[in-house]
Chains A and B, each alone.
Chain A
């Protein structure tokens, strides 16, 4: 049961093969069995069983949605009413959210069963899940490796069968890179497609929530429930949500694929390049035309990102001040001491680095040289994508230059960690939708194929991913010991 897709589980629930309560109990048991992976920060067993009972009633009454009764994990960045929402930080270790994020409200309304809150890098700042206050997560494919980050708990939980689907958020690759490292399907939607209300903000002009699942078909089902305009999010885009499942099977004949040559240059592991080439050849067999395109400004994406994201993070994280919620230091001498120590005693090193860089970049006299310059570079990168996507329907390339690296391997060198996000970060700067789907293995570890589409072309991306999954079985592979 634990390795079935959401679509299969939905059919099983309707056929009466099992109830949502049985399904939920099964997943809760597996979460206990594999607690060593550390994929969850909080398990909400009692609430999950209550939601499952309600879901079974809806199923019996014939008022069920596709997600009704399906167990999901919420990344611990999404606020959940009455449930600890830590964002992976000591600062919020005592924070019981007083409200639900819109994504949580929507999944609840669809009847999904929340198993718990998944582990993540502190405030979503990291590419390995190692900055979490609650410790690192093990990659089910190789437990001495990282699951990727920041949505590492969600990715590991889906890969290990500790949930049927999960939510993630992606600011610079935080859905796609862990999806690639753990061999699952991840979708980062167009900026503004999924509400950010109640999703704890890191870099507001880049953050976007999305689904992490076993298949593209499941991602379509979850995105259907998550997407849509929300007046509570001032950057939400008011535009109808298409039916993401109806076009999944469309043939790919005539699909134009662009391969940005800068995605295949220096720094890319040669065996990963081979896996990607093989996947692209599969698309040729499915009728696609492939051509090379160029994104000359791609190499400036990481520098621009490491100004924009820290600048926005330094502003967003100023709300954590020890006054209204979260951690407060003992015996503050005065108000300044209260702020300084409450923040200093809880934020980890990576969060502190980014707050400091952002504060510096925004400080008097430096704004033009850093933030304004980075926003101009951002425009050039976005223009590169626009010209490329005027020639082709989708872009393809690797998600990450390497497969999952060892736990502790890169923690001593923040820059090395930053550089591993080279292929994902540019997409966030442009605000485009992109997916990672399993495409093969190197050294027994999964490799992700990245598919990037035009604004609001999530339906096309899902179709392109689904057709590949109909013709390959990389997405059906299960890590040893988790069958």
Chain B
């Protein structure tokens, strides 16, 4: 009994019976975990890594079903256990932490109430005892002032603090195993680094075993002893972290590693997803190339731009405010006096954590938002001044957004979506449009016959290709990319990065590339600007900033990025 592993999963198979047929989400997975061991479970979306986690604690909802295999916790079989006995194990012997703490914590209940519910699930505790234990749990995960924070609601915490609360709940009954499903994916890198460090300490201190499910090889490398790589419901490779990541045996693991921009020489095409796409259509006569200025001249100039966001107060509210009976609505200074410039054909990376104002700045450059102060100019012409209709210049700047599903009209055929802008601005005639769209689809590596399809008929990566085609069909000189690869799997991300590198060269595009991912920016951009709280704290050549940061915030940011071990 004592020499049995803590958890032993053998030939686990979880299938989903759907109308389209049986989906084998988990298909014969076996691994074992010793007491106190940290295991990383890595795979792309749809690989079955989360379903494996849920199968272990017996939380598979119909139409899903564990069809075969066994899960043994200290020798005790969990598959097929009655619901009540499984419930007694969940949260007590095995607990779980999820990706987005905003979604997992109930927004309507105080933190204290939620911790209390989890305590009551396995123990009889008095009200005072509950409160004392809840405060102790918060203190354990290093939440400051736990005795007042206990009465807070989830929305009053930052993302990192919320995840700490979720971890506190998971640790409540001193479980033998915690399953963490992408626990730091929704967090900024600096918060991720803190949570990773704290989690490592807690696990070592309490002797808890950990299954760390993630798509990100680097975070797994920094916490796990031992890693399993999953694909299509099967484990393709298992072994000690260092060995798997430095000397991968399976071609899929190798491909995953090759897809990472951090491991390639900046600016080169990534090994994965190098395609033989058609060349983009030539520049249209109706969109003449701007007069070429000398090299290094200012193409896009952002001058002292600022943007505030404030709720509009009505007449009555203003009256009541005047009388001193209501507080004025809060004001957010998203971008605060930012200046930068891009030379023609240059790629500038704009890096910052969430809330730094990078997207707002990008939207002002693209003429989507009017700045409250300052000006954006393209070849000397103002892009858009406050209150004015978008200037014609604005169509020479196009944007690619993060979520292609949200940015494409779900009820419009993608061909019509791509042709919409060029038609509206008279770049092509109705007769020319279909051929023009087909050329662009081919240029982004899609079958030209897809023009008649709707966005939901595409995968995430294909949709982002459509979004790129739509932006480029306007034949812009400048493209603002707002986190274009943030929601994609690494292999798809590599394809999109390659596409952007290629098109940028072929079309001589000027790129403003907004991202929170430092490795992607380094790979794609010549220069980089670091944004923090609405200001640019540091900018310069990418290599110089990354290798020799000057600003304290940049230093912290770079230090927080998890690094993959490199083969020696």
A and B form one complex = no
B positions within 8 Å CB-CB of A: none
